[in-house]
Chain A
Amino acid sequence: GDFILVSDTQSDASFLIHHFLSFYLRARCKVCFVGLVQSFSHYSAIGQRLGVSLTQAKEKGQLIFLEGLKESLSILIPQESTAESQAMDFLRDPTFGLRSLYEFVRSSVNSPGGGEEGAEEWGPPVLLVDDVSVLLSLGVSAGAVLDFSHYCRATVCSQLQGNMVMLVRCLGEEVEDDGSDEGSEWLLKGLTHQCSLTLNVQGLPTGYCRDIHGQVEVCWRRRQGDGQHTQKKLFQYKVHDKGASFFARGTSSAVL
Chain B
Amino acid sequence: MAALVNSVGKPSVERPPFNSTSFQKKTRSKLISIPGTRPSVQNGQLLVSTGVTSLDYLLGGGLAVGTVLLIEEDRFDSYSRMILKYFLAEGVVCRHELFVAAAQDNPDDILQELPAPILDDVAIHKPVEQPRLSCEPQDNLDAMKIAWRYQNLPKVQSALASSSRFGHYYDVSKTMEPEIRQAAKCHRFYLPEHPTHHMIEPYSAVLKSLQEVIQREGFDLSTPMSVSRNILRVGLHSLGSALWGDDLSCHDNPRHGHALTTFLYGLRALLRSSLSVAVVTVPSHLIQVIHYLTLLIHKSMKTLLFVIPLYKDIGLLHVRQVPHLNCLASQLPDHKDLAFKLKRKQFSIERLHLPPDLSETVSRVSRGELAGAAAVASACSSGTSGNKHLDF
Taking beta carbons and an 8 Å cutoff, which residues of A are in contact with B?
12, 14-15, 18, 37-39, 41-42, 45-46, 49, 69-70, 72-73, 76-77, 91, 94, 131, 133-134, 136-139, 169-171, 174-176, 181, 183-184, 208, 210, 239-244
Contact = CB atoms under 8 A, between A and B. Distances in A.
B225 interface: no
B266 interface: yes
A137 B258 contact: yes
B141 interface: no
- The bracket for how many chain B residues form the interface is 35 or more
Contacts of A134: 265, 297-298, 300
B336 A208 contact: yes
A138 B297 contact: no
Contact of A242 (B207, B299, B328, B334): B328
A139 B295 CA distance: 11
B328 A240 contact: yes
Contacts of B75: none
B289 interface: yes
Contact of A91 (B262, B297, B325, B327): B262
Given A12-B330, A242-B328, A69 B298 contact: no
A73 B269 contact: yes
B377 interface: no
Contacts of A15: 328
Contact of A76 (B207, B258, B330, B334): B207
B327 A45 contact: yes
A243 B273 contact: no
Nearest to A36: B265
Interface string B280-308: 00000000011001111111110000000
B326 interface: yes
Contacts of A94: 258
A91 B269 CA distance: 14
Contacts of A77: 204, 207-208, 211, 266
A46 to B, nearest CB: 6
Nearest to A42: B326
B329 A239 contact: yes
Given A41-B326, A134-B265, 19 more contacts: A12-B330, A15-B328, A39-B273, A69-B269, A73-B266, A73-B270, A76-B269, A134-B297, A136-B297, A138-B261, A138-B262, A171-B293, A174-B293, A175-B293, A183-B294, A184-B297, A239-B328, A239-B330, A244-B328
A171 to B, nearest CB: 6
User: Nearest 9 pairs between A and B by C-beta?
Assistant: A139-B258, A69-B269, A45-B326, A76-B266, A137-B261, A137-B294, A137-B298, A39-B272, A239-B329
B296 A171 contact: yes
Nearest to B273: A70
A79 B257 CA distance: 24
Interface in B261-281: 261-262, 265-266, 268-270, 272-273
Contact of A38 (B211, B298, B299, B300): B300
B328 A138 contact: no
A42 B208 CA distance: 25
Which of A15, A76, A171 gathers the greatest number of chain B CB atoms within 10 Å? A76
Interface string B187-215: 00000000000000000100110010000
Nearest to A94: B258
A181 B290 contact: yes
Given A14-B300, A70-B273, A138 B265 contact: yes
A45 B258 CA distance: 31
B310 interface: no
A208 B269 CA distance: 31
Contact of B262 (A14, A46, A139): A139
20 contacts: A15-B328, A41-B326, A42-B325, A46-B327, A46-B328, A69-B269, A70-B273, A72-B266, A76-B266, A131-B300, A134-B265, A137-B295, A138-B262, A169-B299, A170-B297, A171-B293, A171-B297, A181-B290, A183-B290, A183-B294
A38 B325 CA distance: 9
